A and B are shown apart, each in its own frame.
Chain A
Amino acid sequence: MHLALVGTPNSGKTSLFNALTGSRQKVANYPGVTVERKEGFFVTPLGRQASVVDLPGTYSLRGRSPDEEITRDFVLGRAAGESPPDLVLCVADSTNLRLTIRLLLELKQTGRPLMLVLNMFDIATRRGVTVDAPRMSEMLGVPVVTSIAVRKSGTAELLRKTDEIATQAQASPQENLWQPLSVTELRATQREADRIIAATVSLPSRPDTWTARIDAVVLHPVAGLAILGLVLFVMFQAVFAWAQPLMELLSDSFSTLGQFVHQTLPAGLLQSFLQNGVISGVGSVIVFLPQIMIIFLFILLLEDFGYMARAAFLMDRIMGGAGLHGRAFIPLLSSFACAIPGIMATRVIDNRRDRLTTILIAPLMTCSARIPVYTLIISAFIPDQQVWGWVNLRGLVMFGLYAAGIGSALGVSFLIKFFMLRDYAPAPFMLELPDYKLPRLKSIAIGVYTRAKMFLQRAGTTIFSMMVLIWFLASFPQPPVGVEGPAINYSLAAMIGQVLAPLFAPLGFNWQIVVALIPGMAAREVAVAALGTVYAIEGGKEAADQIGQMLATKWSLATALSLLAWYIFAPQCASTLAVIRRETGGTKWMAITFAYMFVLAYAASLVTYNIAVALGAG
């Protein structure tokens, strides 16, 4: 049977989805739109195979954004290529039923078999909220079950009831009577919901004091901003410091594997392909898995805790000064992990201009794919020192690079507002601030796991094929027999690099860097692997040496800094550009993004290089 999860944002829909399906999840897109389609699978106690789709959160079926349209069309069975759900599970946060019960009354009119899931029932009980579920079920005319997504047996009642509904004839859908509600009907449904809640729910005399206490500090005009800055600072120190041991372990494993291949296989093309193309190429990207997981860990923790909405609240007017909507904060923060989900997350912004501005600047946020490049160069050129007694200099440089990205994003946004979208009226900022909740560790773990899997799949497909291509470019044609010098100097890669090199020479880039920038278009982190391949092959027998050590001997500090500056802005990601094209509905904004980022990158590198040379770092 097919189930669909519907609920308001913050209803705990996703943690219920994770509890039901564990890691049996499939993430794809709905056809024609870039709304994420999350489907999972499980088996009911009676052995029934069930699939469940986690629909985008919504307060009503009016469908005012592409996400909300998906939810509406899916429930009504109108979504292209989707069969209507056999059972709709309307998920509610038990501590906060008002808006969900109203949504449920609206869902009832669609005629689909429906069940209300009172999720996070344990939290409600702890806070002194009591719900008369049988009476509520009677008043609503739909089955009501309680659930505790985090506890092992917490979904037992839900599963049992699902089986019961599946075996009964009552599961047959009724006629769809739903129409978009007028304001009068909205009022009437909310009144009805309030009436049912008054009759079935008793709230504690004292509301949740923890949320109030935390908010008194976290939303305080001064302390709140300081905390936000601290959270971001800790996040980036963690990305650099905590991941280090794991990264060294991974890096050592790959070089051991490379050595093993080197010793086992006879010298020749196959040995070179496996060691230099495959192992050192893919290895140098997979090494960054720990950092990507840490970034997502932070983002998911903050989201689950309820802090993300607070950050949007704090940033709304500040970002408004730069022409951004408070809701843009979450997409932009997600862009620190990857611009693609970030750009996709801009769908929560329903004003087209606000959305467009956010999309244009999202790629300036330092995505995790830049981390490999930054890390490589920083560890090769910046000494591992403490400054002011407690700050790691490398971490500080990293923080500076992030700050430069954020600063330039705000600047660009301001310019867009000023020059391009001048007749601009700010769109409303209306956002629920959910009560704080302790993050659900299992749910977080599944979230991080899903992201890690996506990254590895990318490393296994796109990056692997780019690695093979760059190895091919760097190995063929082979040098004539008996000539001196590194083999790569005779290859296709060298030819391309040398053609483009004059364009990049003013930035201090040598032709090897230019060669690495080309496959870097597929994904930024590929540039690291490409540098590895280019230099490893050039280095012959010392292939397994650390790329960083090699770079430190080959590049000047000015070149390294110039490349860092380049990567703050570089439009170096074909997938991001493709997503921008899809989300804005045309090549125009994609071309604009590419052009403005290229110009910024070139200018920044030019300035950085020349200043560094003038200061004697050339």
Chain B
Amino acid sequence: MTAIDQNNAAPQMRLGLAKRGYSGVIHHLDADEVNSSLPALELESRLLELGFVEGAKVEVLHEGIVGRDPIAIRIENVTVAVRRREAMAVVVV
């Protein structure tokens, strides 16, 4: 789950692991190994429709009560709530 792409110099991480206050830029989407109930392609489509595209600025604004889940993410000037499980498909730098 936490596989880090070694080909790139910048340290990458999955948005699903980010703490409150984290801010970064979306590097790419990788829904293949994510443990979501949605098929990878569908999850990727939905994330794209909510504005999760490469290069977008993201910031983790809030965390839920139980297990710090779900998280509220500011993407550019839109705020979206997702569960950490699905946010794992978003790789950020």
Q: Are A316 and B78 in contact, CB atoms less than 8 angstroms apart?
A: no
Report B55-91 CB contacts with A as 1/0, cut-off 8 Å: 0100001111111011010001111111101100000
Interface residues on B, range: 35 or more
* Complex interface: chain B residues within 8 A of A187 (CB): 48, 53-54
Q: Are A430 and B77 in contact, CB atoms less than 8 angstroms apart?
A: no
B-binding residues in A (CB < 8 A): 59-60, 62, 64, 95-96, 98-99, 102, 181, 183, 186-187, 190-191, 194, 203, 207, 211-212, 215, 219, 221-222, 224-225, 309, 312-314, 316-318, 320-321, 326, 351, 425-435
Contact of A430 among B44, B56, B78, B86 (CB under 8 A): B86
| 25 intermolecular pairs with C-beta atoms under 8 Å apart | A62-B45, A96-B77, A98-B51, A99-B51, A190-B53, A203-B77, A215-B61, A215-B62, A219-B72, A314-B64, A314-B65, A316-B70, A316-B83, A317-B70, A318-B65, A425-B37, A426-B37, A426-B85, A427-B37, A427-B38, A428-B46, A428-B85, A430-B86, A431-B81, A432-B78
Q: Are B45 and A183 in contact, CB atoms less than 8 angstroms apart?
A: yes
Q: Are B53 and A432 in contact, CB atoms less than 8 angstroms apart?
A: no
CA–CA, A309 and B50, complex, Å: 15
* Complex interface: chain A residues within 8 A of B80 (CB): 430-433
CB distance from B83 to the nearest CB of A (A): 5
CB distance from B58 to the nearest CB of A (A): 13
CB distance from A157 to the nearest CB of B (A): 24
Chain A CB within 8 A of B43 CB: yes
CA–CA, A62 and B64, complex, Å: 30
CB distance from B64 to the nearest CB of A (A): 5
* Complex interface: chain A residues within 8 A of B36 (CB): 428
Q: Nearest A residue to B53 by beta-carbon distance?
A: A190
* Complex interface: chain B residues within 8 A of A427 (CB): 37-38
Contact of A183 among B41, B62, B64, B67 (CB under 8 A): B41
Closest 4 CB pairs of A and B: A317-B66, A425-B37, A59-B49, A186-B48
- Given A96-B78, A215-B72, 19 other A-B contacts at CB below 8 A? A60-B49, A98-B77, A102-B49, A183-B41, A221-B65, A222-B65, A313-B62, A313-B72, A316-B64, A316-B70, A320-B66, A426-B37, A426-B83, A427-B38, A428-B37, A428-B43, A428-B82, A428-B86, A432-B78
CA–CA, A351 and B86, complex, Å: 15
Report B31-45 CB contacts with A as 1/0, cut-off 8 Å: 000001110011111
* Complex interface: chain A residues within 8 A of B67 (CB): 317
CA–CA, A407 and B71, complex, Å: 26
CB distance from A443 to the nearest CB of B (A): 22
